[in-house]
Structure 1
Amino acid sequence: MKSVIYAAGLAFFLVPMAQASTCGTLSLVDGTLDCQQEVTAPGQAKRISVMDSRDVLKPGDELPPRAMVMINTAYYGLPPAGGGWWYFETNGEIYRADPGSRRVIERVTHLANSSF
């Protein structure tokens, strides 16, 4: 029985890894993996999506729904949260924001240490 559970668990992790190696972009849609392949003509370079300055939120902007509250922020070298704001992470950036309105107060990625 343990070998069956082990094999099922191993397949759970290896199938997405195999798909990711042959897939341009792998995303989770409604609990299933979705492969979005970028097609390029022979001899053309593949386009790579890079975050630019317009992806950085400014004070007053609303955090996107995918923004996650950060916990254990001391590990990242950030001062303690307080005063009615929390730390949120989205698109590889850290923001101080109001948890109720989800409005950005300021971008604080530069305050994090190398663990982030």
Structure 2
Amino acid sequence: MEPESRLSRILAKGDQPELPPDPLPELTAILMDAGPTQPSGMGPVPLTATELRAWQQGTATYLTRWEFRLVLRLSAEYLAELQRASDPLRPPPWINKPTPERRVSVAKHIRNLLRD
């Protein structure tokens, strides 16, 4: 049996996951509308240029060159993070890793709490 994902645990408690800031919500919406990944016989794959062009034509939404390239890259990154996130112990990717100094500080704080 696979361990329950962090998202499943959050949703089971009735909470919503904390999300990172989104500097380009319009492109994120386009990615999600076009389908961030596509099914294949071997599992999900990133959105292809052909599929994105078909989405553009079907929705009459035309992207600039940089937007088109970014949506394709976002699709690949989305899939990569989706696979990494299957580890239930993986922290959210937007949380900065603690410095060694911060680890020492937190460890001292926890030891002090446990002494009381």
* Bigger strand share: 1
Higher helix share: 2
Query: What's the TM-score once normalised by structure 2's chain length?
Result: 0.21
TM-score, with length taken from structure 1: 0.21
Structure number with greater CO (CA < 8 Å, separation at least 6) is: 2
